[in-house]
């Protein structure tokens, strides 16, 4: 799968329609990041997955200046590149919700084929010999892995369904 075949603008349209352009009264149940006046949306596409991360302006500015990001990866320690690495969660299905976790010195996620997940209030902590202590927070992220079912054509459908699922979960959480 070639990563350039996925249209980031199509993903952003789903985000606008489902999460941004809605009444503020409804948005009160959403994670706080979605109520901020300025949000940065990072869309990372690899041959194995799509990662959509919402960052506030302070976190985005910090990440731009951060040298470790340039040497390791955009979100070091978040997703294992292989199934042999130690990870806190192995995703093997659709619509996994991971909330308020702190993961230290191991990968957070190992991705099975055709899996989808939502990360809310996630903290990643790394201690490396080369860079020392490093940590970052992800207030909201969506992860979609490719497989037999999810591919470059169907990823939009699965992302839309995952966003709808997250909204349903936030409604339940807030008793609505």
pLDDT tens profile 144-157 = 999 999 999 999 99
Would you state the pLDDT for residue 48?
A: 95
Mean pLDDT of the chain: 88
Within 10 angstroms of residue 9's Cβ, the number of other Cβ atoms is 7
pLDDT tens profile 101-157 = 999 989 999 999 999 999 999 999 988 787 788 888 999 999 999 999 999 999 999
The whole model's pTM is what? Answer: 0.90
In the chain, DSSP assigns E strands to 40-45, 49-55, 87-91, 96-104, 107-111, 116-128, 132-145
Average pLDDT over residues 85-94: 92
Bridge pairing between strands 87-91 and 96-104: unpaired
pLDDT tens profile 41-69 = 999 999 999 999 998 877 756 665 665 55
pLDDT band at 26; cut points 50, 70, 90:
confident
pLDDT tens profile 64-86 = 566 555 566 778 889 998 877 88
Distance of alpha carbon 141 from alpha carbon 138, whole angstroms: 7
Q: Which residues contact 66 (CB under 8 A, 6 or more apart)?
A: none
| Closest among 49, 113, 59 to 79, alpha carbons compared | 49
């Amino acid at each position: 799968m070639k990563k350039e075949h996925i249209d980031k603008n199509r993903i952003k349209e789903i985000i606008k329609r489902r999460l941004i352009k809605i009444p503020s009264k409804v948005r009160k149940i959403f994670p706080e990041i979605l109520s901020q006046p300025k949000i940065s949306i990072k869309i990372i596409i690899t041959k194995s997955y799509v990662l959509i991360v919402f960052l506030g302006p302070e976190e985005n500015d910090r990440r731009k200046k951060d040298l470790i990001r340039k040497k390791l990866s955009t979100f070091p320690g978040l997703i294992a590149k292989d199934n042999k690495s130690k990870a806190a969660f192995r995703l093997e299905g659709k619509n996994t919700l991971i909330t308020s976790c702190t993961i230290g010195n191991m990968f957070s996620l190992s991705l099975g084929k055709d899996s989808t997940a939502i990360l809310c209030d996630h903290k990643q902590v790394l201690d490396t010999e080369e860079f020392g202590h490093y940590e970052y927070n992800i207030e909201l992220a969506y992860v979609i892995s490719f497989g037999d079912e999810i591919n470059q054509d169907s990823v939009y459908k699965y992302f839309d369904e995952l966003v709808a699922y997250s909204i349903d979960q936030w409604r339940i959480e807030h008793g609505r």
